[in-house]
Amino acid sequence: MNFFRGVMGGQAAGPQPSGAETIQKLCDRVASSTLLEDRRDAVRALKSLSKKYRMEVGTQAMDHLINILQTDRSDSEIIGYALDTLYNIICSDEEEEQDENTQKQVDDLGAQFTDHFIQDPEHLTLLLTLLEEFDFHVRWPGVKLLTALLKNQGPQVQGVILVSPMGVSRLMDLLADSREVIRNDGLLLLQQLTKSNAAIQKIVAFENAFERLLDIITEEGSSDGGIVVEDCLLLLLNLLKNNSSNQNFFKEGSYIQRMKPWFEVGDDNSGWSAQKVTNLHLMLQLVRVMVSPVNSPGATASCQKSMYQCGLLQQLCTILMATGVPADILTETINTVSEVIRGSQVNQDYFASVNAPSNPPRPAIVVLLMSMVNERQPFVLRCAVLYCFQCFLYKNQKGQGEIVATLLPSTIDANSISAGQLLCGGLFSADSLSNWCAAVALAHALQDNLTQKEQLLRVQLATSLGKPPVSLLQQCTNILSQGSKVQTRVGLLMLLCTWISNCPIAVTHFLHNQENVPFLTAQISENLGEDERLVQGLCALLLGICIYYNDNSLENYTKEKLKQLIEKRIGKENFVEKLGFITKHELYSRAAQKPQPIFPSPEEMLFDHEFTKLVKELEGMITKAVHKSSEEEKKEEEVKKTLEQHDNIVTQYKELIREQDAQIQELKEQLSSMTSQNEQMQATMTQQLSQIQQHKDQYNILKLKLGKENQNQGEGSQVNGMQTEELTQLREDVEELRKQNALLQTQLDDKDALINKLVSKYEIRPLERVKSILDMTIEWTNTLLARVPQSSNPENDGSMDGAKMAELESRLTTQLTEMGRLKAEAKSSTESRAELEQQLASSTSTVAILQTEKAKLQTAVQESKKEQDDLLILLSDQDQKIFSLKQRLKDLGESVEDEDEDDLDAKDQMDDDEEEEDDDEEED
C-alpha cells in the first residue's frame, strides 16, 4: 500500500522514481498480481497518469489493458478504468491552444495507438461486446473509446464493425438508453460510424434510425432544441446525403410529412438563439438533400410531390415571406424553395400564386426580384434569389410566357411593378452585378422556348423624351458597344447568345442593325488583355451563332459573306482560338458543375450553369460551319435536300405501309370472325341433321305402332275390360317408376357408402338393421317392377285384372313410404355423426387451450424461481457483508448486540424454509 501512496501523491523519503519507471512498475503489478484489488488499484493509477504521460502509458500499458478487458470482465470497476485509460492515450482531450506542429504530433500519436489497437480485429469485437453491458462505468467509456477510434482510423474500424455479427445493431441500442449522456455520445458515435460508408448507412437506416432520430428531435423541442437536435440532424444528413436507397426509404416511410412541424414559425421572430439558427439551417439542408438536382430525376420529382401534398412547401413559403427572420436563414430558405419547385410544374404554379403580406399584395416573385436588383442587399441573398428565379423557370414554358408577357406593350400596367419591369431596370442600372443577374434571369425566360424568343423581339423601350423607342435587342447592343464593365458585357453577351440561338428571326433582327457585325469583328480582332479575352470569346460565339442559324434573308449578311468577313478581318484560326477562350476560363468549369450560382465574390460572378451547356453544344458546330467552304455548304445543302426528299419518300412509304398494315390487320380480324361464324354454322348444321334423323326414326316407329294399332282395332276396341289408351298410360307409369327406381338406387348406394363409413369409424351397429331393410326393399321393388311389364303386355292382358292392379299400387305406395322413413333415419345418423365430430373438435381445442395455459404457468413459475434465486443471492451477499462488518467491529473492540445475531439466525432460518419450499415446488 505504501507503493500506491507514493504513486498517488504521497511523500516518500529518498529520490522519487521517474514517470516511466512508475508506469513500468504499475504495468508489472497489473500483469503479475493475483488479487483483483491490486490489479484494480494499478489500473486506476495508470488512468491518473495517462493524460500527463500519454506516450509512456500507451507504449507500455496498452497490451496489459487489453488483457484486463479480456480476463476481468466480471468486475465492472476495473473494466471502466481500463477503458478510460485507453481513451486517454488514444484521444487527447486537452483544449489548450497548441501550435500546428504540436497538434500534428498529438494526432499522429493517437493514430499510432489506434493502429496498434485495431491490429487484431478481436479487440474491436471485444469492445462491441462490452457495449452491451448496462453498467454506466463500462458503457460510457466504451462509447467514447470507439468514437475516438473511428475519428482516428474511420475506414478500418468501419470495416471491422461491418463484418462483426450484430455490430451495427449493438450500436443502435445506444439511442434507446435512458441515460442522456450515453444516448448523446451514442449520436456522436453513429455520426463517425456513418461517414462515407453507404453500406453502414443502409444498415443504420433499416435499424429504424429515422424513427428514433425524429422522435428525439420532437422530444428535444425541434428547432428550439439544444445541441442534441443538432447532432440528430447531422446524423440524418450523413444517412441521406448521396444515398438514393436511404432517400427512397425515408420518403416511402412518410418521414417527409414529419418534417413540416419543424418550420412552424410564429409572428414574433425576434431574438433567435444561435442554436436555433443552426438547427433550422440543418433542417433546411435536410430538405435540400431530398430534392437536390444531383439526385435521379424520378426520386426528386417524387419527393417534390410529397412536399407539396403534405404542406411542407407552403410552410417554407410562409417563412420566405415572414418578417424578422435572420438573413442567413432567409437565404437558405430561398435556396430550399428553389430546389423544391425546380422542374415540378405543380410546385412552380403554386409558387407563382404566393403573395407577400403587403398592401397591396404583391407576388412573391416580384418581391424577390426587387431584392435581386437592389445593390444594398447582401450578395449571398441576391445569388439565392437568382437561383430561385432560375428554378421557377426551369422546364416551365408557362412561367416563361408569364414573365415575357409582363414586358409586352399590351400587358404593361402603369400602376404596379411587374417582373419584366424589374428585370429591365436591373439590366440597364449602374450596378454591374444587377446587370449580370437581370441578363441571366431574362436568358432563363428564353431558354429552349422559340415562341418567347420571338415575342421578346416586340418589346420596345423609351430611352428618353423626344426620341423614338428602340427595341430591347437594340438597346442591349447599344449598351454593349459603350464599353461598360466586363461583368455587364459578359451578362449581355450571354443574353444575346441565348436569345438568337436556334431562332433565325432573331438573327435577322440582330444583323439588321448595321453596327453590330463591325463591332463584333473589331472586338474579336483586337489584341486585348487577359480580362478582355472572355469578352472576345463571347463575341466570337455570338458571331458564330449568326452564321450557323442564318437563313440568308439579308443580302449583305449571308452565311458566305460573314465567313468571308471573318477570313479577311480576323482569320479562321484566330476566330476559333478566340472562341476557345470561353471553355478554358477557370470560372467556366466551376459554373458547369452545379445549377446553383455559388461565387466567393461578386467579381467572380461571370458564368451561368445553363449557358455552359449552350456553349458546349454550339462550339463544335460553329467551328465546323466557319471552316466549311461555299462549295461544301452547297454540297451539304444539296445532300440535305436530297436527304429531305429521301426522308419524304421514306415517310410516304412508311405511311403507305402503315395503311396497308392496318388494312391487313382489319382483313385478318374479318377472316377470323368469319371463320368462327363458319365453325358455329357447321356445328349448328350437324346438330340439326342429327335432330332430323331422330325425328325420322321417331316417325318410322310411330308409323309401325300406328299400323299395329289399326290391326288390333279390327279385333276389338277393348280387351278384358281395358282399353288401348289405358294400356298406354300404364306403360308410361311403369317407365316412370323404373326411372324413380334408378334414382332411388343411386341415392341408396350413396347412403350405403356413408353408412359403411360411419360403421367403420364409430362402430354404430344399429345401422346394420337399416342396411338390411334397405337391401330387402330394393330386391322386392326390383322383383315387382320386373313383373309389371309382363302384365302390361297386350298379349297377356287376360292374366291381370283390376283387383291385382289396385293391390300392386297400394303395396308400391307402402314401400315408398318405408323408403322415405329410411331416408329420414339415414339423415338422422348423418347429423349425429356431424355432432360427434363437432364434440371431438371442441374437446381438441379445449385440450390445446389447457396446454397453452399450462405452458404459461410453467414459464411464470420459472421466472418467479429465478427472481427468488436472485433475491437469495442478494440476501446472501448482504449477510456476508454484515457478518464481515461485525467481525471488523469485534476486532476493533466494539460490542455487537445479540439481536443482530438473532436476526441473522432468523434470516438464515427463513432462507432455509424458502429453499425447502422451492424444492417442494420443483418436486411438484
pTM of the predicted model over 0.85: no
Same domain, 447 and 585: yes
Which one of 336, 353, 370 terminates a domain?
353
Which one of 602, 637, 672 terminates a domain?
637
Task: Tell me what pLDDT residue 345 has.
Answer: 95
User: Which has more confidence, 91 or 495?
Assistant: 495
Task: Tell me what pLDDT residue 789 has.
Answer: 45
DSSP label of 460: E
Condensed to tens digits (0 to 9), the pLDDT of residues 37-54 reads: 999 999 999 999 888 888
Match 450557323 to its residue by C-alpha cell: 548
Same domain, 305 and 223: yes
Task: Tell me what pLDDT residue 716 has.
Answer: 46
Task: Tell me what pLDDT residue 730 has.
Answer: 61
Same domain, 336 and 227: yes
Q: How far apart are CA 882 and CA 908, in angstroms?
A: 13
CB 425 within 8 Å of CB 373:
yes
**61 falls within a domain:** no
Taking 90 as the threshold, does the pLDDT of residue 742 lie above it?
no
Environment class of residue 148 by beta-carbon count within 10 Å: exposed (0-12), middle (13-18) or buried (19+)?
buried
Same domain, 303 and 421: no
What is the b/e burial string over 10-19, where b = at least 16 CB atoms within 10 angstroms of the residue's CB?
A: eeeeeeeeee
**252 falls within a domain:** yes
Cβ within 8 Å of residue 482, ≥6 positions away? none
Task: Tell me what pLDDT residue 913 has.
Answer: 59
Same domain, 428 and 519: yes
Q: How far apart are CA 903 and CA 912, in angstroms?
A: 14
Task: Tell me what pLDDT residue 921 has.
Answer: 52
CATH of the domain at 422: 1.25.10.10
The domain in which residue 562 lies consists of: 404-409+416-637
Q: How far apart are CA 105 and CA 550, in angstroms?
A: 67
Taking 80 as the threshold, does the pLDDT of residue 922 lie above it?
no
- Quote the crossing angle between the two packed helices 227-240 and 180-193, to the nearest 10°: 30
Task: Tell me what pLDDT residue 596 has.
Answer: 92
Same domain, 346 and 233: yes
**546 falls within a domain:** yes
Taking 80 as the threshold, does the pLDDT of residue 642 lie above it?
no
Q: What value does the mean pLDDT take over residues 196-215? A: 93
For 142-186, give the secondary structure using H, E and C: HHHHHHHHHHHCHHHHHHHHHHCCCHHHHHHHHHHCCCHHHHHHH
Condensed to tens digits (0 to 9), the pLDDT of residues 728-737 reads: 666 676 677 7
CB 57 within 8 Å of CB 87:
no
Q: Indicate the number of domains in the chain.
A: 2
Q: What value does the mean pLDDT take over residues 389-413? A: 88
Task: Tell me what pLDDT residue 277 has.
Answer: 92
- Quote the crossing angle between the two packed helices 630-715 and 724-762, to the nearest 10°: 120
Task: Tell me what pLDDT residue 783 has.
Answer: 56
Neighbouring CB atoms inside 10 A of 301's CB total 16
Condensed to tens digits (0 to 9), the pLDDT of residues 350-361 reads: 999 999 887 778
Same domain, 499 and 595: yes
For 35-85, give the secondary structure using H, E and C: CHHHHHHHHHHHHHHCCCCHHHHHHHHHHHHHHHHHHCCCCHHHHHHHHHH
User: Which has more confidence, 651 or 247?
Assistant: 247
Q: Is 14 helix (H, G, I), strand (E, B) or coil?
A: coil
Q: Which three cell numbers stand for residue 51?
A: 493524460
**918 falls within a domain:** no
For residue 461, the cross-strand partners are 470
**193 falls within a domain:** no
Mean pLDDT in the chain?
Answer: 81
CA atoms within 13 A of residue 901's CA, in its CB half-sphere: 6
The per-residue DSSP string of 678-737 comes to: HHHHHHHHHHHHHHHHHHHHHHHHHHHHHHHHHHHHHH-SEETTEEHHHHHHHHHHHHHH
Taking 50 as the threshold, does the pLDDT of residue 633 lie above it?
yes
* Residues 528, 533, 539, 543, Cα dihedral to 10°: 90
Q: How far apart are CA 112 and CA 445, in angstroms?
A: 58
Same domain, 482 and 622: yes
User: Which has more confidence, 505 or 654?
Assistant: 505
Q: What value does the mean pLDDT take over residues 766-770? A: 49
Q: Does the bond joining 360 to the residue before it have cis omega, within 30 degrees of 0?
A: yes
> What is the H or E stretch that residue 363 is in?
strand 362-363
Same domain, 338 and 453: no
Q: What percent of the chain has pLDDT over 70?
A: 77
Read off the pLDDT band of 312 (50, 70, 90).
very high
Task: Tell me what pLDDT residue 273 has.
Answer: 87
DSSP label of 259: G
Q: How far apart are CA 567 and CA 573, in angstroms?
A: 9
Which phi and psi (to 5°) does residue 413 adopt?
Answer: -110, 120
Condensed to tens digits (0 to 9), the pLDDT of residues 744-766 reads: 777 777 766 766 665 565 444 44
Q: What value does the mean pLDDT take over residues 137-142? A: 92
Q: What percent of the chain has pLDDT over 90?
A: 38
Environment class of residue 722 by beta-carbon count within 10 Å: exposed (0-12), middle (13-18) or buried (19+)?
middle
DSSP label of 458: T
CA atoms within 13 A of residue 401's CA, in its CB half-sphere: 6
CB 58 within 8 Å of CB 64:
no
Long-range contacts of range 18-27, CB-CB < 8 Å, 24 or more positions apart? Answer: 19/49, 19/52, 19/53, 19/56, 20/53, 20/56, 20/60, 22/49, 23/49, 23/53, 23/56, 23/57, 23/60, 23/61, 24/60, 26/61, 27/60, 27/61, 27/64
Same domain, 447 and 576: yes
Q: What value does the mean pLDDT take over residues 819-836? A: 71
Read off the pLDDT band of 881 (50, 70, 90).
confident
- Measured in Å, how far apart are the chain's first and last C-alpha atoms? 55
